[in-house]
A and B are shown apart, each in its own frame.
Chain A
Amino acid sequence: MHDLLYFCQQLINGLTIGSAYALIAIGYTMVYGIIGMINFAHGEIYMIGAYTALIAITGLAALGIAWLPIVLLVALICAVIVSSSMGWAVERVAYRPVRGRHRLIPLISAIGMSIFLQNYVHLAQGSRNIGFPALIEGGLRLGGDERFQLSISWIQITIFITTFICMSALSLFISRSRLGRACRAVSQDLGMANLLGIDTNRIISATFVIGAALAAVAGLLLGMYYGSVDPLFGFVAGLKAFTAAVLGGIGSIPGAMLGGLILGIAEAMTSGYLSGEYKDVISFSLLILILLFRPTGLLGKPEVEKI
């Protein structure tokens, strides 16, 4: 009985962190799907989202506004606006001028952008970690006895629900809307979309903005979940989300969702049954294994194409 509860507890923890990874992974996978590059500054976009949310929350507290829905909404909007603008600007400044060159050049540019943003936040906000107020406290306790109880915190539930809403909205947008259809077309044949009169630069910008907005949502959620942020906040999370994207099949949006969940669960199980120290080992071993044995990822597959 206890074993089962303990397993369920790890599963819930895994799904929580996994759904946040998935939100970040979307940004990697969409950008890769369209221009075939890994945006290594994406983790920093997420970190900036978390800092912006924290600044907004602190500002509201200073103004004496404490009503939770308003605080969350304002923090969310600020984080999304700032991160999206950053995502847009990073593409314009660091990637567009080198697009179409050798693959290594945008990659180096991305790493440079990542280092720049990280150090910018170091200078602007200091390198200590800063406490992130736990706005959503408490939770549910289910079953068991005094030895072990299953606990689900409200923040975990919030992370689930928010991720679910974001993913559903994104799926609808990609599969049904005119712009979403254009995103898919551009990712399949950018040159042809251009020959249909579509301004592909705008579609590429839109991709960066959408990915950054989702990362900002994850930044706010995980900031509250972990309870602190620092300038390296985005580094590990970025690597993990990148791993999730590769695991699911880079370029595939459902793949990023699946990869995030699998990675989160794998980490939680490792922490729960082995040791927390090993969870990164497991994540990156998964990355190496998938690259060795199924480089297209779980859901990534070569396009069916007849000539």
Chain B
Amino acid sequence: MLVLEDVYTHYGKIEALHGVSVEVRAGEIVALIGANGAGKTTLLMTVCGNPQASSGRILLEGRDITRRPTAEIMRSGISIVPEGRRVFPGLTVEENLYMGGFFNERADNERGIGRVYELFPRLKERGHQRAGTMSGGEQQMLAIGRALMSKPRLMILDEPSLGLAPLVIRQIFEIIAQLRDDGITVFLVEQNAHQALHLADRGYVLETGRVRLQDTGLNLLANPDVQNAYLGG
């Protein structure tokens, strides 16, 4: 589904990724864990073409997207729930969802909104409320719903549990599992390593811009190095 081959990314003169290779296979949930500043968000954003990789290749379903502009990449079956959710605060819930399905037919959008409201009944109650006035958990649901609107085959989630109450976090992880059951491939960045690795089929550990470890989620959970560094010993 998604392959990164020896990807380097620079911010100006600073090299943030030093030759990262990652593979996400169709139907998997792949978790990317690592400390703050390890380059997790940079890696996800490089997939989206913002910033673009300075060398290496990124393939989406076999097509080279390394040098494509962001807008074009995001129209080819991939969608993102970005760090900090980034819902449009002045737009209503429904308008945010329409933005997610910007390139859909009208009928597809109506079906899509119906489907999002089934997943998140709370959003239906808030359909005409401005997104900026909702709680963090509701905004996170909206960000996921918006990302679903374009009927993605691959969904990228950046720290979906950040700053949320434990109950809401559990709900978000249930939804992510359900996405996989619906046939959507998931590439997930999490600082909540324990829950992420439990859920994930496979995981990568990123350290200062390099892949340190890769294994199945359960093996990584059992790995003493991972336990010490990311699971609190």
Binding site for B on A (CB under 8 A): 178, 181-182, 184-185, 188-189, 191-200, 303-307
Contact = CB atoms under 8 A, between A and B. Distances in A.
Nearest to B78: A197
A192 B82 contact: yes
Interface in B86-142: 86, 88-91, 95, 98-100, 102-103, 130, 132-136, 139
Given A181-B99, A192-B88, A198 B133 contact: no
Contacts, number: 76
A122 to B, nearest CB: 40
A296 B64 CA distance: 46
B191 interface: no
> Which secondary structure dominates chain A's binding surface?
helix
A198 B70 CA distance: 9
Contacts of A305: 89, 132
B48 interface: yes
Nearest to A201: B71
A182 B102 contact: yes
A196 B139 contact: no
A304 B133 contact: yes
Query: Which of A188, A195, A303, A306 is most buried by chain B, counting CB atoms within 10 A of its CB?
Result: A195
Contacts of B91: 181, 184-185, 188
A189 B135 CA distance: 19
A185 B71 contact: no
A198 B102 contact: yes
Interface in B174-204: none
A303 B80 CA distance: 23
11 contacts: A181-B91, A182-B99, A182-B102, A185-B88, A188-B88, A191-B50, A192-B82, A200-B71, A304-B130, A305-B132, A306-B134
A303 B139 CA distance: 15
A73 B198 CA distance: 68
Given A184-B90, A195-B48, A196-B100, 9 more contacts: A185-B95, A191-B86, A192-B82, A196-B99, A197-B150, A303-B90, A305-B89, A306-B134, A306-B136
Interface in B148-177: 150, 163
B193 to A, nearest CB: 23
A197 B75 contact: yes
Given A199-B71, A306-B132, A178 B89 contact: no
A307 B139 CA distance: 9
Q: Report the 5 A-B pairs with minimum CB-CB distance, sorted nearest first.
A: A197-B74, A197-B75, A192-B86, A188-B88, A305-B132
A201 to B, nearest CB: 9
Nearest to B95: A181
A191 B49 CA distance: 12
Interface string B61-81: 000000000111011000110
Contacts of B133: 304, 306
B72 to A, nearest CB: 8
Contacts of A200: 71
Nearest to A193: B99
Contact of A194 (B50, B89, B135): B50
A164 B95 CA distance: 26
